[in-house]
Structure 1
């Protein structure tokens, strides 16, 4: 059996039920089926990485995919909560918050790309410094310095400026 498709089909036939069963222990049926299918997609893409016996590796992939789905769901739930909180303010508060938000986004957009990334990873995604550093491709210490500097630049840009004098306006 040298044909890669035949070998993959054999792997699928032998292990799909076990992978699906494992996923069903941890997720509702629709998600479990999606994760089981995605597990075999990963197996197809990483065919040369699959050890003997393959079942423990397949179950590890399934576990990781389920964890990723759980993290996505939690982030989505947090976003819904944040949006719900924004919509519970009085009308005057909403207009003020929109103006503040737009000003902050404009200032953020004016920062360097590295600064934007540092602020967004911490503030929007809620990553720890170690996680954010991994995403940014630097050490945690370097990331912390970047974040500190970016926050300082952001705060300076958002600091209220004194009104222009008549001469400055002319």
Structure 2
């Protein structure tokens, strides 16, 4: 491929490829730029490729480079030299947290309105059974038995969502 043809191909494909890699790298623009350069370096080395299949090939190479970077990150342990071990994050995977929150929300929506209000007051607002008993004008034992029934119903609803 002649240098002028390569330059034209670069101008035609750089923008869409960069946008694709930005999405693939979750907005890490610097990494996306590096990967674009790597893709075009490989294209330069494969200059004798058929121009009709060049664009799909560029996107396939880009995708494979992102996958290779992710695998390389997972293979190497995170360096924490010099960091205070007490301040290191112990968070679980964000996707797992999102799924768990969504499951609880879906399960809570299946409860009766009285059960939802009771669990909300006890676990979100921090009301005690005695405070709720006074508010609802019922004995504290009734609040406890209703909360037990609500938790049981919630547990059943969560169990029905399990695979």
TM-score by length of 1: 0.43
TM-score by length of 2: 0.44
> Does 1 or 2 have the higher relative contact order (CA < 8 Å, sep 6+)?
2
Larger Rg computed on CA atoms: 2
